[in-house]
Amino acid sequence: MTQPALWYFDIISPFAHLALTRLGAIREHRPVLLKPLVFGGVLKAWGQLGPAEIAPKRVHTYRLATHLAQAMGVPFRFPPAHPFNPLAMLRLLTALDGSEAAVTAAFRLVWGEGRDANDQQVLQKVADAAGRPDALARIGEQEVKGRLRQATEDAVAAGVFGVPSLVIDGEVFWGVDAMPMALDYLADPATFRSGEMARISALPEGIQRQR
């Protein structure tokens, strides 16, 4: 039986907003489950800094996201501050079971319109989009917090190291720029098991940097 693709995301990522607009092509091959996670938890698990935590990389990342959105023709505006605390929105989307309508509304509001992800009106609009207006009251529940934490741990266990990431048959495709590779894999899964792809999958390390 064909397994669904898992799309791991955090509302904090502008690139997740862009990738969301391209998931339709993936759905032509597989169902896609939308899985909110905490990007900060992923970074901590792998001992990484986020792109917004390195000053020159922060500006570069913002410019790159803006340029890519313009090139893709995707409505795009940065929220009032970034990085921001994504937990309320992530917990709401978890309470809404990763509803496509809710996730789409969340990214449209935060990244399409530049709204504050912690604004109560924005959060309520996301709940309303899923047809579950009472869901906002659940974001403080331990069960919801636990599910979000578990999704983050599951993603790390699957090899996810950044957002957005598609996991298909155990293979991780990170970023909006990996979408074409994901489509090629879906067309021919054997591509990773032959030729240069197979060789680089077992390539030895020549040096390791001390940490």
Q: Are 80 and 138 in contact (CB under 8 A)?
A: no
Q: Read off the tokens for 94.
A: 């978890």
Q: Are 91 and 148 in contact (CB under 8 A)?
A: yes
Flag whether pLDDT at 116 surpasses 80: yes
Stretch 92-114: mean pLDDT: 99
Task: For the chain, list the strands marked E by DSSP.
Answer: 5-9, 32-36, 165-168, 171-174
Percentage of the chain with pLDDT > 70?
100
Predicted local distance difference test score (pLDDT) of residue 210 = 86
Predicted local distance difference test score (pLDDT) of residue 159 = 99
121 class by beta-carbon count within 10 Å (0-12 exposed, 13-18 middle, 19+ buried): exposed
Domains of the chain: 5-177+185-201 (3.40.30.10)
Q: Read off the tokens for 88.
A: 């309320």
Q: What pLDDT digit, counting tens, does each position of 28-80 carry?
A: 999 999 999 999 999 999 999 999 999 999 999 999 999 999 999 999 999 99
pLDDT band at 2 (very low <50, low <70, confident <90, very high): confident
Stretch 126-152: mean pLDDT: 99
Cα separation, 115 vs 84, whole angstroms: 12
Q: How many CB atoms lie within 10 A of CB 152?
A: 24
Q: How many CB atoms lie within 10 A of CB 130?
A: 22
Gyration radius of the chain over CA positions? 18
Stretch 115-138: mean pLDDT: 99
Question: What is the DSSP code string of 60-89?
Answer: HHHHHHHHHHHHHT------SSSS---HHH
Q: Read off the tokens for 126.
A: 């996301």
pLDDT band at 82 (very low <50, low <70, confident <90, very high): very high
Q: Helix or strand or coil: residue 190?
A: helix
Cα separation, 127 vs 125, whole angstroms: 5
